[in-house]
């Protein structure tokens, strides 16, 4: 693969980028099994028929026994049978690559000993060597080829079959080259599998991160809004008979809170829908929401929404300096962490007051949310739930940190430190 290719790019197609080393996967399975057998049959069998039947005969010690060229030779069918063994054996190369390589090597050696005048390469053996190595039968291939070739050379010397040194050398080099080709193809296929495995892992990791991000956004939106709605509904039910005006105010707050929650949920789902349509090549049209994601400019309004629920929140903030020094992603994270922290105070704490502090500190935007809690000591162990995990993920994704502790027996403290990245 050329080193300048970006395999992480979404447009990168591994199937089309590596057609040479992975050509077998683009051919039907039945064709992949039959092609080597058919090709070797068409190349070596007809030629063997002609050369074995009408060629010259060589006796022991290499003497030409004569015979007119073109006269049919007796026993030629045995040479043809040896030539047929290889293509037939290749039909089982997928399931038994090692034994097939051994059979082809033995048949090729026997054909050389029987008719050394047939100089046609045993094509089936070439396929058996490469396919055997590629399919993992390396020991079978190396052992069978070495034993068959050494046995052929030894028997040729014993029986007086003419095998010139040049032919022995050329055949040995050809066998070594075939083994090298098999190793190269095998290594290439393993590299392709590894690239695909990594690409699948990256794609699954990206999909998982996106699911977590969406789940985190929906949790923050729904937990905050439903908590406020629950509190206001309780107030309305309690005051509907004695103070109808207060009950009506609670219903109005429920309406406003639910409308805001629906808008934010539509924003999250709209972003998800637009991403899906973009991946599938469809036009998102007007489906992309135009509502901006929350930033720190909406922090005072967030504080007011909790104050309306009876939770007194003191805001101590260097709001504008922090907004000028942070990106939109950092402001969204700070807003959501503050929202989740105050929701936890409203739902789980017995106190009716909390403090929110936002400031810059040595290159970090620091958000601190504290509450005094109840007067009764609580279990000092903090068991992280979905909200705390979501806040920690938001902070760590931006290179920051989240600290959660109990500064007093009944109180709670959440501190988020996010690095400042000034926008140019």
* pLDDT tens per residue, range 156-209: 888 888 888 888 899 899 999 999 998 999 989 888 888 888 887 777 776 676
- Kind of pairing between the strands at 312-317 and 353-361: parallel
Of residues 278 and 413, the one with the higher pLDDT is 413
Residue 423 predicted with pLDDT over 50: no
Q: Are the beta carbons of 14 and 7 closer than 8 angstroms? A: yes
The residue to which tokens 């003191």 are assigned: 314
DSSP H helix total and E strand total for the chain: 12, 5
Contact 420, 325 (CB under 8 A): yes
Cβ atoms 86, 100 nearer than 8 A = no
Identify the pLDDT of residue 73.
60
Task: Of 307, 273, 388, give the one whose Cα is nearest residue 341.
Answer: 388
Cβ proximity of 253 and 275 under 8 Å: no
Per-residue confidence (pLDDT) for residue 22, from 0 to 100: 43
Which of 332, 334, 200 has its CA nearest to residue 267?
332
Q: Which two tokens stand for residue 160?
A: 């007086």
Which residues have CB under 8 Å from 313's CB, separation 6+? 303, 306, 307, 342, 353, 354, 355, 356
41 φ, ψ (degrees, to nearest 5): -65, -50
| pLDDT category of residue 418 using cuts at 50, 70 and 90 | very high
Beta bridge partners of 418: 365
Q: Determine the longest span between alpha carbons in the chain, in angstroms.
A: 128
How do residues 127-151 score in pLDDT, each as one tens digit? 999 988 988 888 998 998 899 889 9
Pairing mode, strands 353-361 and 364-371: antiparallel
Burial degree of 420 (CB within 10 A; 0-12, 13-18, 19+): middle
pLDDT digits (tens, 9 = 90+) for 231-285: 777 777 777 778 887 777 777 777 777 777 776 666 666 655 555 554 444 444 4
Determine the average pLDDT of the residues in 340-358: 84
By three-state DSSP, how is residue 373 classified? coil
- The two three-digit tokens of residue 399, written as one number: 């290179």
């Amino acid at each position: 693969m050329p080193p300048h290719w970006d395999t992480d790019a979404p447009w990168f197609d591994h199937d089309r980028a590596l057609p040479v080393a992975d050509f077998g996967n683009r051919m039907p399975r039945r064709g992949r099994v039959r092609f080597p057998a058919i090709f070797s049959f068409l190349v070596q069998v007809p030629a063997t028929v002609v050369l074995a039947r009408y060629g010259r005969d060589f006796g022991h010690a290499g003497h030409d026994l004569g015979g007119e060229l073109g006269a049919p030779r007796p026993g030629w069918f045995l040479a043809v049978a040896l030539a047929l063994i290889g293509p037939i054996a290749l039909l089982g190369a997928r399931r038994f690559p090692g034994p097939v390589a051994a059979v082809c090597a033995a048949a090729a050696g026997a054909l050389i000993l029987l008719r050394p005048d047939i100089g046609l390469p045993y094509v089936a053996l070439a396929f058996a060597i490469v396919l055997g190595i590629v399919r993992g039968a390396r020991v079978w291939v190396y052992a069978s080829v070495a034993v068959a070739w050494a046995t052929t050379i030894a028997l040729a010397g014993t029986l007086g079959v003419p095998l010139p040194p040049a032919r022995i050398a050329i055949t040995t080099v050809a066998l070594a080259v075939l083994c090298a080709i098999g190793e190269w193809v095998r290594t290439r296929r393993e590299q392709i599998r590894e690239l695909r495995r990594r690409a699948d892992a990256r794609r699954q990791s990206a999909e998982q991160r996106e699911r977590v991000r969406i789940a985190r956004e929906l949790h923050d939106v729904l937990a905050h809004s439903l908590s406020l709605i629950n509190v206001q509904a309780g107030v309305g039910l309690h005051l509907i008979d004695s103070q109808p005006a207060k009950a009506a105010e609670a219903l109005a707050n429920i309406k406003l809170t639910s409308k805001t929650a629906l808008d934010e949920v539509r924003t999250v789902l709209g972003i998800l829908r637009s991403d899906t349509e973009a991946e599938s090549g469809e036009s998102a049209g007007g489906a992309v929401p135009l509502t901006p994601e929350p930033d720190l400019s909406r922090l005072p309004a967030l504080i007011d929404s909790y104050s309306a629920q009876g939770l007194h929140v003191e805001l101590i903030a260097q709001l504008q300096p922090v907004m000028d020094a942070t990106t939109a992603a950092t402001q969204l994270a700070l807003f959501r962490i503050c929202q989740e922290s105050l929701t936890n105070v409203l739902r789980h704490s017995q106190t009716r007051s909390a403090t929110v502090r936002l400031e810059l500190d040595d290159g970090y935007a620091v958000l601190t949310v504290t509450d005094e809690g109840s007067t009764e000591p609580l279990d000092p162990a903090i068991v992280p739930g979905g909200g705390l995990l979501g806040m920690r993920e938001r902070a760590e994704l931006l290179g920051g940190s989240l600290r959660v502790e109990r500064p007093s027996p009944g109180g709670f403290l959440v501190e988020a430190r996010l690095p400042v990245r000034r926008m140019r």
